[in-house]
Amino acid sequence: MSANEPVDSQLPTIAQESPNREPGQDGTEVDPGRSRWSVAIREILNGSAMISVLAVILAIVIGGILIAVTDDTVQETAGYFFSRPGDMFSAIWNSVSGAYISLFQGSIYNFRRPGFANGIRPLMDTLTFATPLIVAGLGVALGFRAGLFNIGGRGQMLFGASAAGWVAFSFSGLPFPIHLIVAIVAGVAAGAVWGGIAGLLKATTGANEVITTIMLNYVAYYFVYWMLSTQGLLQLPGSNNPKSPAMLPSAVLPPMFGVQYSLHWGFIVAIAVTIFVWWLLNRSRLGFEFKAVGFNPNAARVAGINVPRMMTYVMLFSGALVGLAGVFQVLGTVTTGFSSGIDAGIGFDAITVALLGRSRPWGVFAAAILFGAFKAGGFAMQASQGIPVDIVLVVQSVIVLLIAAPPLVRAVFRLPKPNLLAPVKSAKSQGKKAVVTK
C-alpha cells in the first residue's frame, strides 16, 4: 500500500460500514434496533411470569372443557348433535359462561346485589381466603429459594394455631393490643420451632427434609388432636368434642372495614410480611446466603458460609411464616373455637402458590390472591350453577402440572424456544467489536 494513498483507504473495511447497521450471524446486516426489540420480546415470552400467566389461561380453558363435558344439558343435546348442532353449542356456551360468570361474581364483584357495599363483598372474601395463603406461600417459597422443600406446612400451621389459640382463650387479663400481639408471637414461635426441627435434622444428620416434614405433619395432627380431646389442655371445658374454647375478644384480629365484611387486619400484616421477605431475599446479607446455599451448597461452603446453620435458619423462618397462617386462621377466621382441621388444607395449597409465584415474594402474593378467588368463587359456582366445586381443584392441579412443564406451555402457544447460548454469542460479538475498534 502506497504512502501517498489517503488515510481513509487504509482503515479496515468494517469501520466504513454504517454505524446504524451491524453484521448478523449469517453475514448479512441486521438493524440493531430491530434485533434489540426481538431479543426483548423473546425474553418476555420465555420469562417465568409469562409462563405462569399462560399456564393459568390454559388451565381455565381445560376447566371450561370439563364443565361442558359434565353438564347435563350438553350431554342431552349431544344425543341429537347432527340434527341440531346449534343446540349443543348453545348449551356449551351457557354452561361455561355461566360457570365463569358465577366465579367472577363470587370472587370479585356481584352485580346482582344492590349497592357497591354489597357488591364488593365477594372481593373481601377473596382477600380473606388469600391472607393465610400469602404468608404460608412465602414460607414455602423461602425454603425453595434455599434449596429446601418444606412439605410440613400442615404441622407448622397446627402448632401455630394451637399456641395462638391457647394464648387467645387463656390469658383473660391482658388488654386488647397486648393480648393480640402475645398470641401472634406465640403462634409464630410455635411454627418456627416445628419447622426448625426439620431444619436441625437436615443440618446435623442430613435427613431429607421432604420425609421429615411429611412425618412431622402426622405427629402434629395427632398431637394437636390429643390436646383438643384432653380437659385442661385445649379442649372446651365440659365438652366431649375435640374442640377448643372461643377466642377472647381482646385477642381477635379486628375487621378492616366493619363487621359486614370478613376481611381483617391480618391482610395488612400479610402485605408487611411480603415486603419483609422481599427485603430479606434481595437486600440483606442473610437472604444472599440463603440463595447462595440454594444455588450451590458446595460453592457456598467454600465461600465461607455455614451451610448447616443456614439450613436451620431457613426452616425456622419458613416455619414461622407458615405458623403465622395458622394464627390468621384462629384469630381472624374461626374465632368461635377450632378443631384439628383448622389448617383447611392451606399447608398443601401453599406449595402450589409458591410454585405459581415462582418463589418470588410478589409473585406468591399474586398467586395467593388468585387461589383465594378460586376458593371464594368455587362455592358460588356450585350454588348457582350446580357445578361441583372439585372442578376448581382440577383447575388448580392443572396449573401445577403446566408450571412443572414449561415446554408443554411453549408448545401449546407456539412460543420461541429459549436461546441459552444468547449470552455467549453476545459476549463474542462484544469481543469482536472491541477488536475492530482497536
| 229-254 per-position pLDDT tens digit | 999 899 999 888 999 999 999 999 99
Report the percentage of the chain scoring pLDDT > 70: 84
Provide the pLDDT for residue 160. Answer: 96
Domain boundaries, the chain: 32-107+387-423, 134-374
Q: Nearest-CA neighbor of 310 among 286, 285, 279, 284?
A: 286
- On the question of pLDDT at 80 being above 60, the answer is yes
Q: What is the pLDDT of residue 124?
A: 94
pLDDT, tens digit (0-9, with 9 covering 90-100), for 43-76: 555 567 788 888 888 888 888 898 888 888 899 9
Predicted confidence (pLDDT) at residue 4 exceeds the cutoff of 70: no
Who wins on pLDDT, 19 or 216? Answer: 216
User: For 260-294, what is each residue's pLDDT tens digit?
Assistant: 888 999 999 999 999 999 999 999 999 999 999 99
The model's pTM is: 0.82
Residue 324 has pLDDT above 90, yes or no: yes
Summarised one tens digit per residue, pLDDT across range 180-232 is 999 999 999 999 999 999 999 999 999 999 999 999 999 999 999 999 999 98
Looking at residue 428, its pLDDT comes to 52
Q: Is there a contact between 296 and 176 (Cβ–Cβ < 8 Å)?
A: no
